[in-house]
């Protein structure tokens, strides 16, 4: 299937590793060009080297209000166009909503929530001024159901899904689409850290997989292919939705 990605240009935040990087790999494999970013210049450089000549990168932090426009300018300056974006930020620290401190809530709000909202607004405005495009937000299953011990995520992710839906209405007439992606149990570095925290990572991984209807944990590559499709012209009538990529773990219809 031709996804129509050849020569299109996408910005991906938090993409030096994990789900953002897996999406970049899938996009490049179909001929797209990517501008990737994360806070670590060394990780960005290593990721760009692996991705090859269709990739460009820069170290940037979404909590900095100037970052989104810098990323759009990098896409235009390096590749001459801008067709869409994947907004991914690291998950906030674990802990119940009542247990985490005010400062933790403020930090998570600035990075996870406000940083994502600002980026979505800047990217959508740039796309609306051109031929339109697509914006994907990497959220979490917590957008639909609270997850035990992840109070910050439970509080902020549903709000981001609501923002994406609101923006899909506002920018839809200009041809800008929004899709919220809800990864479930996927074997990322963050997942490995959480498994290792319990002292028996192999058992923790097996137990997590046993709770999924497909009876296994997903891979970043499986997420990346779904995200690349949603950003592509092949998904041109898909907008304003939350799409679980979780092996069937969410129990809601």
The whole-number pLDDT of residue 21 equals 97
| Other Cβ atoms closer than 10 A to 6 | 10
The whole-number pLDDT of residue 12 equals 98
HSE-CB at 172 with a 13 A cutoff on CA atoms is: 15
The whole-number pLDDT of residue 192 equals 82
HSE-CB at 98 with a 13 A cutoff on CA atoms is: 1
Q: Which of 80, 90, 66, 102 is nearest to 35 (CA)?
A: 80
Please provide residue 56's backbone torsions phi and psi, each rounded to the nearest 5 degrees.
Answer: -135, 150
Taking the C-alpha atoms of 146, 221, 187 and 163 in order, what is their torsion angle to the nearest 10 degrees? -20
Angle between helices 201-210 and 189-197 (to 10 degrees): 110
The whole-number pLDDT of residue 1 equals 82
Chunk the chain into consecutive blocks of 10 residues (it has 253) and report each block's average pLDDT, rounded to whole numbers: 95 96 98 97 97 97 95 98 95 90 94 96 98 97 91 94 98 98 89 81 89 95 98 98 95 85
Q: Which of 127, 136, 114, 120 is nearest to 239 (CA)?
A: 136
The whole-number pLDDT of residue 90 equals 79
The whole-number pLDDT of residue 199 equals 83
Task: Write out the two tokens for 131.
Answer: 């031929």
Question: Locate tokens 């030096």: which residue?
Answer: 16
Is residue 144 a contact partner of residue 252, using CB atoms and an 8 Å limit? yes
């Amino acid at each position: 299937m031709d996804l129509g990605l050849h020569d299109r240009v996408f910005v991906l935040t938090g993409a030096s590793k994990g789900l953002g990087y897996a999406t970049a790999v899938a996009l490049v494999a179909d001929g797209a060009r990517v501008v990737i970013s994360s806070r670590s210049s060394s990780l960005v450089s290593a990721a760009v080297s692996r991705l090859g000549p269709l990739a460009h990168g820069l170290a940037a932090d979404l909590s900095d209000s100037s970052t989104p426009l810098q990323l759009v300018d990098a896409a235009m300056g390096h590749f001459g166009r801008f067709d869409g974006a994947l907004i991914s930020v690291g998950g906030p620290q674990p802990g119940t909503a009542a247990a985490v401190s005010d400062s933790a809530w403020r930090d998570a709000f600035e990075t996870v929530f406000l940083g994502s909202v600002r980026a979505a607004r800047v990217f959508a405005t740039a796309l609306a001024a051109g031929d339109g495009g697509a914006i994907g937000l990497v959220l979490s299953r917590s957008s639909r159901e609270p997850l035990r011990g992840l109070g910050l995520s439970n509080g902020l992710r549903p709000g981001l899904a609501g923002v994406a839906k609101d923006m899909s209405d506002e920018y839809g007439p200009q041809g800008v689409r929004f899709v919220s992606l809800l990864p479930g149990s996927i074997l990322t570095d963050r997942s490995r850290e959480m498994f290792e925290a319990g002292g028996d990572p192999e058992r923790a991984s097996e137990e997590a997989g046993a709770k999924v209807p497909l009876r296994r944990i997903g891979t970043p590559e499986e997420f990346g292919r779904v995200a690349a499709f949603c950003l592509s012209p092949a998904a041109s009538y898909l907008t304003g939705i939350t799409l679980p990529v979780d092996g069937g773990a969410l129990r809601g219809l």
